[in-house]
Amino acid sequence: MTGRTLASEPHITIRYDVIEDILYANWTGEQTGGSVMDGCERILHYLQLHRCSKVLNDNTNVTGMWSDASEWVAVEWFPGMHQAGCRLFAWVLSPNLYSKLSADLTLSYGINGVIATTFESKDTAKAWLKAMG
């Protein structure tokens, strides 16, 4: 993958590919409300910094429930992402049932302004982002 690493923490790695204009967020391990909020704030910061409109949010390696942050992600963070210029959000779901339920709960609050679509694979998510613009 081209691009460069912007942040590398135990719970999240963020990369930006200037050619594809995609911000990649790779979440890892057990997530808590605090780690989710921290990672989301980092994504928002780099999205604003690079004026990027596309995010590939990869939860493939996330384990466990993080539903305590679901409402905040939907009600606070997604509107901030929209305001910062995010238009397309490809969300690769974790195979972990509890993580997947947390993502579903987030989306159940309703996301406005950003087209957020879930995927089972990173390749499919990336292809969607490219096809959408």
What is the value of pTM for the model shown?
A: 0.95
Sheet holding 22-30, edge to edge: 4-8, 12-17, 22-30, 54-63, 88-92, 115-119
State yes or no: pLDDT of 39 exceeds 60: yes
State yes or no: pLDDT of 92 exceeds 60: yes
Domain residue limits, the chain? 7-126
7-126 folds as: Transcription Regulator spoIIAA (3.30.750)
Residue 25 is predicted with a pLDDT of 98
